[in-house]
Structure 1
């Protein structure tokens, strides 16, 4: 049994945020959910508790308060919103794990807005120098949370970061969400992981995978 964690999900009512919240509510973690519209967060909490009355999930009105109480902070917001949020949570995210799930996609999904020598996760680490930023959940689609087993195979979810203990903790969280965690390397590997998502989106649009698709490493 893994350690019980208090996990703040900032942007909990978005497609990704709600997918993560619903998946993690099945584990023994305590979830603190924040989004701009508190009524939508309360609806999400009701939905979670309807499915699992024992779930510990609560709506929080302020991202700083949610982050203050949390062991792990998941920023389930678009890349463009991260700087403003980082400013708000910087002091309370000291020494905590902060999960970057964003992909800095351009408007046409043909590439990333970040330069090739950095990534959304590395930029977040610069904004939160005293936090342990880990890249996770960016290589899976929102619909995959309800269907982490696709065509009989459990989707892999890649993780990158530079703190061994934090990587282990996030691996457990990824597993609790239903995916097979693969530690891909240091935080700089986020550049590759973010580009993997660009490719997966392009393939999904080209071949109509219906947004239920994921990467799988096959090996012996």
Structure 2
């Protein structure tokens, strides 16, 4: 199994790292405040902890948690991330009036620009930390979606394996440019949490059986839908 380095052991870094450690992955928790990394490692004796730089050096795959902080402010040497897969799951703020921040560029695109020699993958941004408390068996039965986007198909394939190992259903949403849509979905999720006053929510994507004998007229050509060649019944 690939080694996992957690850069920034906050809530999400801790639960993702521990979930992977419980699955058998080697995990190194890093933090600017090493006590946070130490706290996380106490939940799994096989995991390691230390600085963010040590976590970056240890991991073959990195989970990057610091929000809106340039990696050069977190690491002493950015070159240690060259060629590595870097997962980020950042979302945007929601106001007390439930207004979502306007998104013109995704956090994934920003991090990719900051780490031009790494393979940045958007993933897990619509999965709340509470969801990781469920068993892998239950998560599989719920078909909880782990949406992902990246310009690197090999990196997405490896993150898909991680997601599947944790019980999630990986959904490839395309290139990095699609990360902006995933972050909008993240904003929607955070709004729903506040409306429902319930963090035990998640998205799933269900493929229904195809109906060959259409009774309602079928889908007609429309400029709103763009190309519809993929629709067998059109």
TM over 0.5: yes
Instruction: Work out whether 1:139 is the aligned partner of 2:136.
Output: no
Match in the other structure for 2:214: none
SS at 1:8's partner residue? strand
Q: Which residue of 2 is the match for residue 57 of structure 1?
A: 47
Tell me how far apart the structure 2 counterparts of residues 146 and 42 of structure 1 sit (CA, whole Å). Answer: 20
Q: Which residue of 2 aligns with 1:38?
A: 34
CA-CA distance at 1:199 after TM superposition:
0.6
Higher strand share: 1
Do the aligned partners of residues 16 and 217 (structure 1) sit closer, same or farther apart at CA in structure 2, a change above 3 Å counting? same
Change (3 A) 1:197 1:165: same
Relative contact order, higher structure (CA 8 A, sep 6+):
1
Return closer, same or farther for 1:87/1:39 CA change in 2, 3 Å cut-off. closer
Q: What is residue 156 of structure 1 aligned with on the other side?
A: 145
Residue 180 of structure 1 is matched in structure 2 by: 169
* Aligned-residue CA RMSD (Å): 2.1
Distance 1:71 1:15, change over 3 A: same
Report which stretch shifted further, 196-205 or 141-150.
141-150
Question: TM-score, structure 1 length as denominator?
Answer: 0.85
TM-score, normalization: structure 2? Answer: 0.80
Q: Can you give the 5+ residue segments of structure 1 that lack an aligned partner in the other structure?
A: 50-55
| CA offsets 1:167-210 (integer angstroms, 9 cap, x no match) | 110001112222111111111111000000111111121122x2
- In the alignment, structure 1 residue 105 sits paired with structure 2 residue 105: no
Residues 33 and 202 of structure 1: CA distance in aligned 2, closer, same or farther (over 3 Å): same
State yes or no: 1:23 paired with 2:19.
Answer: yes
Residue 90 of structure 1 deviates from its aligned partner by 2.2
SS of aligned partner of 2:66: coil
Residue from 8, 11, 17 that aligns with 1:11: 8
1:89-142 Cα distance to aligned partner (Å, 9 max, x none): 5211101101111113255452236x42x2000000000011000001111111
Following TM superposition, where does structure 1 have runs of at least 4 consecutive aligned residues deviating by more than 6 angstroms?
Answer: none
Write the distance in 2 (CA, Å) between the matches of 1:203 and 1:194: 14
